[in-house]
Amino acid sequence: MTKTLTVEDLRKSFGSTTALAGVDLEVAAGEVVALIGQNGAGKTTLISIVAALLRPDSGRVRIDGIDPGAQPRRARRRLGLAPQETGLYPVLSARENLRFLGSLAGLGKAELEQRVEEVAAAFALTSLLDRQAQILSGGQRKRLHVAMALMHRPSLLLLDEPTAGVDVEARVQLLATVRGLAAEGSAVLYSTHYLAEVGDLDASVAVLDGGRIVARKRRLEALGDG
């Protein structure tokens, strides 16, 4: 199975606080890996380093063989990131937000318009495309936030608690979209506190505790098997 993401002995400290203490992790093409752990376990730090938003103190990250630290622009074209904080341009419409992210990813005009329609349909945003982001509801903004990360069909998708604070309908839609992306071959690293979502995604599981992966299982129910 092709490994889209490879993380080896990743370490990161902030002053006297150790966030990552030697993380090893692989995510294959077509696989959803649920990253679970308590607040402060290092999940957001790990995702930020993979996305080339933070530099590790030591260790190795490769996305399709590319080092995001050495070649951040090239690596970012292969990944889609939806961090915890919703990142939208409030005075732009939903359509303009999607177009902007797609253009940054290098999509041409024809493909850009096609992808706007596709991701809007996938996230039930079609009727909202011409509304300013600032007047959308919280759940609608969250759906748009995640949709923006998918504009360029990334080979690696990083989702950091994407359903926090959204309604049931939005959660169902998002999970279905993630399953579809994995079926098409994308690798997905999905940070969550909701164990029910792990089962809904049929995800494998990586448990992060104290800055280390302390358990790695192919299915949630296997965690209890030791």
User: How distant, in Å, are the alpha carbons of 32, 43, 140, 162, 202 from that of 190?
Assistant: 7, 10, 20, 8, 12
What's the pLDDT tens digit per position in 176-215?
A: 888 988 999 999 999 988 888 888 998 999 999 989 999 9
**What is the structure's pLDDT at 98?**
94
d(CA 111, CA 184): 18
Return the exposure string of 186-211: e unless at least 16 CB atoms fall within 10 Å of the residue's CB, then b: bbbbbbbeeeebbeebebbbbbbeeb
Statement: 3-78+154-225 belongs to CATH 1.10.1200.30: no
Q: How far is C-alpha 52 from the chain's CA centre?
A: 13
Residue 65 contacts residue 29 (beta carbons within 8 Å): no
d(CA 56, CA 59): 7
Angle between helices 94-104 and 109-122 (to 10 degrees): 130
**What is the structure's pLDDT at 74?**
87
**What is the structure's pLDDT at 220?**
55
d(CA 171, CA 168): 5
**What is the structure's pLDDT at 221?**
54
User: How distant, in Å, are the alpha carbons of 1, 89, 208 from that of 191?
Assistant: 22, 24, 10
Q: Which regions in the chain score pLDDT beneath 50?
A: 226
Burial (Cβ within 10 Å: 0-12, 13-18, ≥19) of residue 15: exposed
Residue 220 contacts residue 203 (beta carbons within 8 Å): yes
Domains of the chain by residue range: 3-78+154-225, 92-153
- Residue 193 region, left (φ>0) first, then alpha (ψ -120 to 50), else beta? alpha
Which one-letter amino acid corresponds to residue 114? Q
